[in-house]
Structure 1
């Protein structure tokens, strides 16, 4: 039966040879001559490397600068509109080209040795002819045209985005943010045989989709090659993109979008399922390499993008009505990443230092700098520059039955050694082996109460060390000085007593590069990275026998999915925590460039990364966020419950806890988190998310003062009260989050003890009043937080606290 072709769009024209090279962005102009090309040109300021401009193309949308370095007789200038006599000599410039030069330079005077440079940028869609000329009035013959063109198509950004086998149509979209031209014919190859081509000279505007007629079958493969040899399978590359589809899985390697960079689909069975029940197979994300992002639907040809780049992702975060105070716990710590409460009736808190030590602070906030536990000598060497390394001691948690079994757990970065439980396969990165920076290890230890005082302190020892899980972390290609990033590391227990382990995607940018394979780690539940794990440290049914797999984990016995994974699709989850009342697990996730998010962590669900940053589709090539027409939800996906962008100077979200303390009733049930703040700006932000779906800034002190540190962690004690840990420019801090101002009354031995608690950065006044009907008072007492007065139990009156 003959098929009806519903739409064929081919835009093509010939602009001559496409064998020209891209022009240097700075060109140096030498002596003028009467013969073509009328000037000598150079690529260096010393005039040692002559170039022939006829061999170069000047691309629309690219800035170029011309500087005169030799000769005084022939000033240089450009024009793209002829003068009244029809000549471009002393012509004019259109509004489609942006030209800058010193004020002493004009179309009459040109640039000389002494008058500076001329810079120009042709707008996208530029259609004029551009000329250069000598500005001397008698030199009208010294005029020459530039070779101008849209830039050549970026080979890794021309993507097949939809196929319609029923109509023999293929949609191709250009992912770049500027217009570009095909420098040669590009060939469609169907089931290994050359089928048709996109003609040389076809122009794609930024984000444009075009539809082409290609003979397709309901099951098979379609590739787009950029050379005739590639189309004839004479060479392995370069290929633009490819798609294997159907109901029968293909055999052999199926190339993917980035094949020319030696990347392959993750295995020969990776292909997009297409039953033929619908007439099209559509890409519903920007990442064409992941088969899960291709879904069957009705045709939606000719328009893939709705908005290729969303410039304003979210409105500004408002300052909330909840006012809080801060009380300094200690400023004598080194790179704190949080506190934990042993809840052993000692009143102490344990302070975690990223450098590998665990210190203690008593109920009066006296810091004991003699570590309870010190693993600093065991860790991988940390980057010494203040404040930035994502390795070290990253997580700590007490066993739910800690008071009975003395067990605790920590997550730390160790040098490569031993046998990792999870490692990257040989050739994982497109045939190349992953370069490993270190191992992340979760360890269980048991303390021995040597001094028989019933608590774990500096007089005790630890024993029965055992590794629960060890896995590789790749070296960062973009930031090798810091070794590795996106290591996650937070440990906590859920309401069922199972250990949650936060694991980042392995670092670098866009979930690409060393250690990320073809589809990235976050969207791939067959590996451990980019996930929140859930294990039973008391069990033994894991592959290594060191821990158990909870029977209700989502991927039990599923092929190509890890039993340990509770949820996946994270970039760097920091930090998962369970609400002690509802049992719901919340986690923030650090965004790539633009969006920070709060997630309700759901059982077995895909939380978006790297298909999305927040709720916006994410382009792994450009790092931009955008939207597509007629979007289809990704299968098994869950969106963040709240998110924000970087417009207000935010940089990186830091997870916290649902507030279940009693000191600040206005925050009851709200999720408290923070933003790290501008890197090395030493001033983060405290945030809260409420059930109405809004995220707001906490108002700090009486004047909403800035923090004097970044935000590294939001921790809680056994009573549900919260603490902030952060680094300042010189000192590092731990603060307790308290009410802006509050009073407590306690009867002790026939006396009334009145205590004021509040923000230490504000002036706190405890006011004694004779009556509630007026502000008249018997006295005003300016006190520090924790200070108070004592009055006879028989004293009549009223008390009020003020922060200002």
Structure 2
């Protein structure tokens, strides 16, 4: 794939595989300059200012996934999954819900975080250059009279920073009260924030810069390890920081994980096969089943540690080499409630 770049900036800010479909997603900038002079964000005939989705599981080149939203369209390139973006800088899929978060750098006034639910079939217009955030940009008024654009779930003005850096939802175990919290930052101001999103409203917005105990500047990226713990990349000093609890880390991983990840490896493999659960081969009709070795779970309801496939973690799941932690903060060890996923510790 070759994409002609009319200007030097806004080259693209993220690439990653979908969590379950196995397709490659690419976030491309609008081509650069300022104000998107060629209107690439809204133009379907270019791959600039888009989220692209392609199948690279082929001997050479790539294929177009058959369920891409513009397959067969005369107005849009078939690689396009979503459009209306200016300079998307770091995107992420939530490892639990598979929802998609897209941070998009604004022009002169607003930074934004966009959201696409796992149930989306693509084709979303995120607004640029009609809008910057939720505000009309070009034209300055009556920019979306038909209501065809999707507004960001969060925006902040340039009094707080000037270039958003997208992050991740926290799905780690060390800080259990932050489960499901989205972390992100700003490249210019070095500030870090978090919020929760329930699919309709954001809540519990909070600045985290001070409590992290490190002065950040030029935050270029966030990272996530196999256990769901988060990291922050400082561009100016080349340091990678890990977000850790300010006290004692939770002893037990009372955390949500990848459904079916029985051995808590962070991915679905044949090592997760449990009694009463069958694997099925991926084929047309199962577009979301594209796991390792082209195998996928018949059931998506299994917990970490649920070795017998009952849907809950109990003592019946105890196996050789896997210990279950029973935790009560500040007191004796008590068994976790049935139905709570517990991280096996080797």
Show the counterpart of 1:726.
234
Say whether residues 1:717 and 2:225 are aligned partners.
yes
Change beyond 3 A, Cα 1:697–1:633: farther
The correspondence for 1:553, drawn from 56, 59, 68, is 68
State the alpha-carbon separation in 2 of the partners of residues 470 and 735 from structure 1: 34
State the alpha-carbon separation in 2 of the partners of residues 633 and 663 from structure 1: 46
4+ runs deviating over 3 angstroms = 626-629, 743-746
Number of equivalences: 245
Which of the pair has the greater relative contact order for Cα pairs under 8 Å at 6+ separation?
2
Show the counterpart of 1:697.
207
State the alpha-carbon separation in 1 of the partners of residues 159 and 13 from structure 2: 28
1:723 alignment partner, SS class: strand
State the alpha-carbon separation in 2 of the partners of residues 743 and 713 from structure 1: 24
Show the counterpart of 2:9.
485
Show the counterpart of 1:642.
154
Change beyond 3 A, Cα 1:669–1:744: closer
Show the counterpart of 1:584.
99
| CA drift at 1:720 | 1.1
Residues 710 and 727 in structure 1, CA contact (< 8 A), matched pair in contact too: yes
Say whether residues 1:525 and 2:44 are aligned partners.
yes
2:241 alignment partner, SS class: strand
The correspondence for 1:501, drawn from 26, 31, 36, is 26
Instruction: Give the structure with higher Rg (CA).
Output: 1
Q: Map 1:132-531 to 2 at 5 A.
A: 469-475=1-7, 484-495=8-19, 496-512=21-37, 516=38, 520-531=39-50
State the alpha-carbon separation in 1 of the partners of residues 217 and 66 from structure 2: 43
| CA drift at 1:708 | 3.6
The correspondence for 1:676, drawn from 162, 172, 187, is 187
CA displacement, residues 160-183 of structure 1 (integer Å, 9 cap, x when unaligned): xxxxxxxxxxxxxxxxxxxxxxxx
The correspondence for 1:618, drawn from 130, 137, 143, is 137
| CA drift at 1:690 | 0.7
Say whether residues 1:659 and 2:170 are aligned partners.
yes
State the alpha-carbon separation in 1 of the partners of residues 44 and 159 from structure 2: 33
| CA drift at 1:745 | 6.6
| CA drift at 1:539 | 3.6
Residues 656 and 715 in structure 1, CA contact (< 8 A), matched pair in contact too: yes
State the alpha-carbon separation in 1 of the partners of residues 185 and 108 from structure 2: 17
Residues 709 and 733 in structure 1, CA contact (< 8 A), matched pair in contact too: no
Show the counterpart of 1:209.
none
1:666 alignment partner, SS class: helix
Residues 174 and 250 in structure 2, CA contact (< 8 A), matched pair in contact too: no
2:86 alignment partner, SS class: coil
| CA drift at 1:732 | 2.1
State the alpha-carbon separation in 2 of the partners of residues 493 and 677 from structure 1: 28
State the alpha-carbon separation in 1 of the partners of residues 65 and 142 from structure 2: 39
State the alpha-carbon separation in 1 of the partners of residues 16 and 251 from structure 2: 36
Residues 500 and 576 in structure 1, CA contact (< 8 A), matched pair in contact too: no
- Unaligned stretches of 5+ in structure 2? 253-329, 332-346
Between Structure 1 and Structure 2, the one with more strand by share is 1
State the alpha-carbon separation in 2 of the partners of residues 474 and 719 from structure 1: 41
State the alpha-carbon separation in 2 of the partners of residues 744 and 575 from structure 1: 29
Q: What is the TM-score normalised by the length of structure 2?
A: 0.66
| CA drift at 1:607 | 0.6
1:570 alignment partner, SS class: coil
Q: Map 1:599-614 to 2 at 5 A.
A: 599-601=114-116, 603-614=122-133
Show the counterpart of 2:341.
none
